[in-house]
Amino acid sequence: MSGLTALTGTVATRPMLALVGGAVAGLGLATAGLRGRPDDPTATGPSSGARSGSAGSRAAGAGPARWARGLTRLVSRAGGPGRAGRLLLVDDLRIVGRPVEVHTAARATRALAGIVLAAVAGVAGRRAGLPLPPLALPALAIGGGLVGVLDADRPVRQRAAARRTEARLAVAAYIDLTRTLLSGGLPLHAVLGLAADAGHGWAFTEIRGALEEARQRQLPPDVGLAALADRLPIPAFADLRQTVTSALRGASPTTALASRSQHLRATEAAEARAVTASADAAMELPAAVVSLCFVAFLTYPLLAMLTATSVLP
């Protein structure tokens, strides 16, 4: 009987070991593919001889790069035209400035790492004699893969949210400064450049770059801001483009900027009130739980006494 039990445990453990080995091999291949991206094979010139020495590394990296692109296309087809962008975090990655294929490869690597850790934990638990059900290992593997994907997405989402907030605040300050300078009698084209030069940070750098590109191409400033809004899907940049277009082509630039500034201040006030209300609600929930526990603490002795009295003959 003991031999049959040992044989059964060995047979049940073999799929776990196979899963662990396959996940480890996949993790190694994905990690090796993330070390470098392949160079352009069509590039020629004096540096082509220097690049010929790294042909082996380019050949090693071309496979994982193609694999990441194929996985991205597969997710795009599975999600459809509407959901593919949300599944792949296309907007957040464009804001952060990270290619979709690179993030897909990072997701796959973290998912494989999660599967490996979950499988190792399942094998260790089975070896330790824990009564794990047959579907415990697949469930652990799926959970570990999802945790790995979420762990890869978390910094991208956080950075994209921080840049959206920075862009909203920068646009509000930029419009206020533009309106102030415009009230001093300066022309609108000069005011747009001066206000952009006065600010610091990522958002002001993007605004300056968009205005400079439009100036070099001898185009109106709102064309450069429109290109910025198309490149970075941030609502604040789209609002800035509409405001500048209204100021350039409208009857009164000061009125257009003043109305947009008023709207932005009202939006900021509404968001501040919403944050305050959510914080108040978050503080009320623990207080309600403590109150209920205190009531239960006072009521329990009385209920115990009544129950003991009713039981007595």
Residues 6 or more apart whose Cβ sits within 8 Å of residue 213: 224, 227
| pLDDT category of residue 310 using cuts at 50, 70 and 90 | low
- Is there a single domain that holds both residue 98 and residue 154? yes
- Is there a single domain that holds both residue 126 and residue 15? yes
**Among candidate residues 138, 173, 160, 153, the one with its CA nearest the CA of residue 265:** 173
Backbone angles phi, psi at 38, to 5 degrees: -70, 145
CA atoms within 13 A on the CB side of 284: 6
Classify residue 281: in a domain, yes or no: no
Counted domains in the chain: 2
| Average pLDDT, integer, range 116-125 | 86
Q: How high is the pLDDT of residue 88?
A: 82
Q: Could you tell me where the beta strands, DSSP code E, fall in 43-151?
A: none
Segments forming the whole domain that contains residue 7: 2-37+59-160
- Is there a single domain that holds both residue 123 and residue 180? no
Classify residue 298: in a domain, yes or no: no
Token match 């070099």: residue? 216
Classify residue 206: in a domain, yes or no: yes
Q: What is the pLDDT of residues 154-181, one digit of tens each?
A: 999 999 999 999 999 899 899 888 888 8
| pLDDT category of residue 208 using cuts at 50, 70 and 90 | very high
Q: Answer yes or no: is pLDDT of 33 > 60.
A: no
Classify residue 189: in a domain, yes or no: yes
Classify residue 309: in a domain, yes or no: no
- Is there a single domain that holds both residue 102 and residue 200? no
Q: How high is the pLDDT of residue 67?
A: 67
Percent of the chain topping pLDDT 70: 72
Classify residue 120: in a domain, yes or no: yes
6-15, 132-141, 180-189, 196-205: lowest mean pLDDT where? Answer: 6-15
CB 152 within 8 Å of CB 107: yes
Q: What is the pLDDT of residues 12-30, one digit of tens each?
A: 445 555 555 555 555 454 4
Classify residue 92: in a domain, yes or no: yes
Q: How high is the pLDDT of residue 68?
A: 66
Q: Answer yes or no: is pLDDT of 275 > 80.
A: no
Q: What is the pLDDT of residues 103-119, one digit of tens each?
A: 888 988 999 999 999 88
Q: How high is the pLDDT of residue 270?
A: 77
